[in-house]
Amino acid sequence: MKSKKQSLVNNSNKGKVTEKNSYHHGDLYRVLLDAGEQELNERGVEKFSMRGVAKRANVSHAAPAHYFSNNKGLLTALATAGFTLFLEMQLQYEKKRAKSDMHPLVAAGLGYIEFANTHSGMFRLMFASDQPDWEDVALKEASCKSYEHLIELVHGESIQPESLNELQIQDVISAWAIVHGMSHLYISGQLEPLSCMKKKDYEAYMANIISRVLPAK
């Protein structure tokens, strides 16, 4: 039942896990986050339910309240964890294609889209939802890291986000928008015609599109 896939949160307190079935769960925070992600991807942001998450975690409906003050709190934590995973997937794509002649920005873009595809509920939570508390510091930090990484990809590591001029920002927005747009179109089924393509062809096709907006250099 419980798929023991990669957890959303760093498995920090591995020493004191008292393992289920006891009144005191021991590791509920992490379990709730995992259950939350499951709920998110299976039912979507719109039908996301606190009680549903509790049920998945085999815990009473009010248990999550101790860790997340309310619905918003849980979704904020989920979005935060999501941004970390999001960045990781991009880095992974960059690394894997480092030896090819593919521009790192394009590789990251493919990772971006792949994340949206495999975590569509999470993606919509992160980029098309009013639910999370966008003033939350942890969430802000996580999302900013993604943004800073994007800037690195477009303009090199040396540059500071604040010191970008308007034209440089234009390059950033262009790259972001086209990848972000394709992600949204993809997960809403608007790119169905491409679904019959082989992965290799599909990636080349997408890479072509992304390349159109690369900075003139």
Partner DNA sequence: ACCCAATCTTTACACTGACAAGATAAACGA
Partner DNA sequence: TCGTTTATCTTGTCAGTGTAAAGATTGGGT
Q: Where does this chain bind DNA (CB under 7 A)?
A: 16, 18, 22-26, 28, 48-52, 59-63, 65-67, 69-72
Cβ closer to a copy of itself: 31 or 179? 179
d(CA 46, CA 124): 10
Give the Cα separation of 117 and 128 in Å (integer).
15
Q: Which is nearer to DNA, 40 or 206 (CB)?
A: 40
Report residue 47 as tokens.
Answer: 């039908």
Nearer to a copy of itself, 27 or 109 (CB): 109
Residue 50's alpha-carbon distances to 39, 61, 148, in angstroms, are 9, 8, 32
Residue numbers 186-205 binding a copy of itself by CB under 8 A: 188-191, 193, 205
Measured CA distances, 153 to 93, 212, 215 (Å): 13, 15, 11
Ranges within 137-196 binding a copy of itself (CB under 8 A): 166, 169-170, 173-174, 176-185, 188-191, 193
Size of the site for a copy of itself (CB under 8 A): 36
Helix (H/G/I), strand (E/B), else coil: 177: helix
Residue 162: which residues within 8 A CB-CB, separation 6 or more?
none
Restricting to residues 15-74, which ones interact with a copy of itself according to CB under 8 A? 44-47
Identity of the amino acid at 49: S
Residue 209 near a copy of itself by CB under 8 A: yes
* Binding residues for a copy of itself (CB under 8 A): 44-47, 124, 127-131, 134, 166, 169-170, 173-174, 176-185, 188-191, 193, 205, 208-209, 212-213
